[in-house]
Structure 1
Amino acid sequence: MKRSLRLLASALALLLSGVAQATMGLGEIAATAKDGPVTLYYPSADAEQPTRRGPFVLQVAPQGQPVRGNGRLVVISHGSGGAPWVHADLARSLVQAGFVVAMPEHRADNYKDGSDPGPDSWTLRPAEVSRAIDAVGRDPRFAPLLALDKVGVYGMSAGGHTALSLAGGRWSPAGFKRHCEAHLEEDFQTCVGLLTRLTGGPLDGIRKWAALAVIRWRFGDDTPRVHADARVAAVVAGVPAAADFDMASLAAPPVPLGLVTAKQDRWLIPRFHSDRVLAACTPCERIADLPTAGHGALLSPPPPGLTGLIGDMLNDPPGFDRAATMPEVDRRITAFFAKHLLQERGARGAASAG
């Protein structure tokens, strides 16, 4: 057994050594009538240069020529109102290990259009991930470099909800309604997003009444939402929205499922979300548990200059050392995908070497 593990490690090292010096390319698959654009990070031989995207300056090779990596794709599902730039640090870790990374833009719940977040978006997102995999498979730049029979999915926040769906989770809008009826005050931001907050003042009663009225009007459908994609072979959910899931559907996921949790998360209170998943799913792996991190810890690089309610929800709390923490979290996520997406290939190489 020890010899087999050593051979496997050697084979993986050889596999990854060919991309260790690659730069990170940045590309895009254009939007269609049905879907938004898909942003791509990938191993490239071209030189990186400072490239501005929104408020961020990224070191990437824009439209760089792709080079062969490890042959595997990881899809990242962004959070509500999210952009592909806030996961560039994780993308770099994955690209350095040879992965191609694809980030679909989720309809009506992205940085350009935040008009319809929550259960309406959660219903659409898993199929958008599947169509992003299809789009990468049709792209002549990447199709020859990838085998799409084993794809990884990572999602954070609302993207974590997407990830849980692709790991076999079953949920319904009525489940969201029931959670908010039972725990509105304790988990208020989950139920209302950034529309308002409770202040402890005399208007809180009106805020809670109005929130429940809208939730009951919009989210009464108890039809289970399920989505299966046989190509998805490993999933990581970071600080996921999870209160509306039937936890029995996540007790024994059909694919390896890892979680990243943040104890100081005030947007998706852990005891209603990530902790419930971990309690229900005994085979799940807690990739990282961040005791001093808030909800925005997994946005890396973090959005600058956030103020007001969104700043309270996403800015790092006092005592959280981002520089010392997040590179290791990215390495652990990358290692999880390498273990579950590359192991069979590495084992075949080790057997050949033996």
Structure 2
Amino acid sequence: MRSHFLLAGLAVGLIFSATHAATLGTLTLPPDASVGPVTVFYPTAAAGHAEPRGDLIVSLAPEAPPAPGNGRLIAISHGSGGGPWVHTALAQALVDAGFTVVLPLHRGDNWTDTSQRGPESWQQRPAEVSHAIDRVAADPRFAALRLDRVGAFGMSAGGHTALSLAGGAWSPERFRAHCARHLAEDFQACVGLATQLTGGLLDGPKLWLAQRVLDWKFGGDAAPRTHGDARIAAVVAGVPLAADFDPATLARPRVPLALITARLDRWLLPRFHSDAVLAACTGCELLADLPSGGHGALLAPAPAAAELGRLECEMLCDPPGYDRPAMTSLWLARTVAFFRRQLLAAP
């Protein structure tokens, strides 16, 4: 498995450095009372310096003056326990197309702090995206951006954020009820990475305890959670956590909504999450259905197997046979094309 990742990473790195020549301007806005640090990637005419980011080599120009680009902004919401740099390839592809990209570090659910992961984080994440857009709007370096039509991309828990930004409504009680019905089948979505079912004698006690905790923490709170931001004009949800959404609220999203799915996702099984959204939403677009992709397929740079725990790697490492270079190029190109079509064609 480790050699597979090294070879795949080398191939992606070679493709990335050969086809993505634009320098990434980058800066970090400090945290404030409403949001953690906000990372911004943007076009720049400044010369960059080559820097490895996981299995990618990027040309970075920290604090360089922004170039005009196409005048549009894309906000990215990272997954649970994630951060801005796991979306480097997507940020690079968007910047190559002229977009500016903003990524808030979600409080209590990022690579340095997971104390609020789950519904507590899901509730605050959309507002953190909106505030990150506000932070960019208030920065004179980005005064040329037109923020009446902003794109949003989210992966995993960030995909949950994306569905909220598209007009979806969810509740902690819907999450609890889903897990009550499908706990054994969708165990990792319901309990995270604390443990897993093994087929052994302890599975029964694990299921009993997990359901008691879910009932205690989330039972009865059926108030729908929604978030509105009129600036968001197009949304992409990648392998989203979605089983707690009211399907009726996603039947006709308030903005164009597209999805990316991964058939071998073992953390968020498609039939309960992304496929359920596609079944409810007749007008949603399926940008890419990765037939042999796992939950970590949209993380680029790829997660390094040696740096993950065993269960983390089972959930995030690429399944055997996954063609990461080809599939990454595919979903990146279709995502960029979607945002160009939805955000640049409008006046």
TM-score normalised by structure 1 residue count: 0.89
Relative distance call for 1:126 and 1:205 in structure 2 (3 A) is same
Deviates more, 1:25-34 or 1:287-296: 25-34
Corresponding residue number in structure 2 for 1:71 = 71
For 1:326 and 1:55, how far apart are their aligned partners in 2? 13
1:63: how far off? 1.6
Asked if structure 1 preserves the Cα contact closer than 8 Å seen for 2:54 and 2:301, the reply is no
1:22: how far off? 4.5
For 1:109 and 1:73, how far apart are their aligned partners in 2? 23
1:21: how far off? 7.1
1:33: how far off? 2.6
1:141: how far off? 1.0
Asked if structure 2 preserves the Cα contact closer than 8 Å seen for 1:168 and 1:228, the reply is yes
1:92: how far off? 0.6
Asked if structure 1 preserves the Cα contact closer than 8 Å seen for 2:294 and 2:319, the reply is yes
For 2:303 and 2:175, how far apart are their aligned partners in 1? 28
For 1:22 and 1:207, how far apart are their aligned partners in 2? 50
Corresponding residue number in structure 2 for 1:10 = none
1:169: how far off? 0.2
Residue 260 of structure 2 is aligned to residue 260 of structure 1 = yes
Q: Which stretches of structure 1, 4 residues or more, deviate above 3 A after TM superposition?
A: 51-58
Q: Name the larger-Rg structure.
A: 1
Residue 305 of structure 2 is aligned to residue 311 of structure 1 = no
For 1:38 and 1:55, how far apart are their aligned partners in 2? 23
Asked if structure 1 preserves the Cα contact closer than 8 Å seen for 2:233 and 2:255, the reply is yes
Corresponding residue number in structure 1 for 2:171 = 172
Aligned length: 325
CA RMSD of aligned residues (A): 1.5
Relative distance call for 1:272 and 1:174 in structure 2 (3 A) is same
Corresponding residue number in structure 2 for 1:159 = 158
CA deviations on 1:99-125 (whole Å, 9 max, x unpaired) are 000000111000010112111100000
Corresponding residue number in structure 2 for 1:334 = 336
1:302: how far off? 1.1
Corresponding residue number in structure 1 for 2:216 = 217
SS of 1:82's partner is coil
Corresponding residue number in structure 1 for 2:132 = 132
Residue 113 of structure 2 is aligned to residue 113 of structure 1 = yes
For 2:174 and 2:130, how far apart are their aligned partners in 1? 24
CA deviations on 1:153-176 (whole Å, 9 max, x unpaired) are 000000000000000001000000
Give the gaps of 5 or more residues in structure 1.
1-19, 346-354
CA deviations on 1:275-301 (whole Å, 9 max, x unpaired) are 000011010000001011000000011
Asked if structure 2 preserves the Cα contact closer than 8 Å seen for 1:50 and 1:58, the reply is yes
Corresponding residue number in structure 1 for 2:34 = 34
For 2:53 and 2:321, how far apart are their aligned partners in 1? 29
TM-score normalised by structure 2 residue count: 0.91
Corresponding residue number in structure 2 for 1:186 = 185
For 2:314 and 2:59, how far apart are their aligned partners in 1? 29
For 2:136 and 2:119, how far apart are their aligned partners in 1? 26
Give the gaps of 5 or more residues in structure 2.
1-19
Asked if structure 2 preserves the Cα contact closer than 8 Å seen for 1:56 and 1:85, the reply is no
For 1:302 and 1:21, how far apart are their aligned partners in 2? 20
